[in-house]
Amino acid sequence: MARVVVEVMPKAEILDPQGQAIAGALSRLGFAGVTDVRQGKRFELEVDGSVDDAQLEKIAEALLANTVIEDWAIRRIDGEA
């Protein structure tokens, strides 16, 4: 049993209104020094040994990310995290 993390973020050229709202709120709340915020998603999957990297890529592309507007990355965490 392994843990896999899939990180999904809006592509750099895509506007991110959620992130912009957070950046605006930070400055209104008095937190200076944060110049940009982008918000994405993070999925933790528990997979068994039958799931290989090719299948993980299919899962990320088909279900977890909207590849038109989002980039995604897969990281395996093999420790007992």
Question: Which residues here bind a second copy, judged by CB under 8 A?
Answer: 1, 7-9, 19, 22, 25-26, 29, 31-51, 55, 58-59, 62-64
Nearer to a second copy, 41 or 76 (CB): 41
Nearer to a second copy, 15 or 62 (CB): 62
CA dihedral (42, 66, 9, 61) positive or negative? positive
The CB-of-80 to a second copy minimum distance in angstroms stands at 13
The CB-of-68 to a second copy minimum distance in angstroms stands at 19
How far are the Cα atoms of 16, 21, 40, 45 from residue 11, in angstroms, in the given order? 9, 17, 10, 22
SS3 for 49?
coil
The CB-of-62 to a second copy minimum distance in angstroms stands at 7
CA dist., res. 44 & res. 32, Å (int): 32
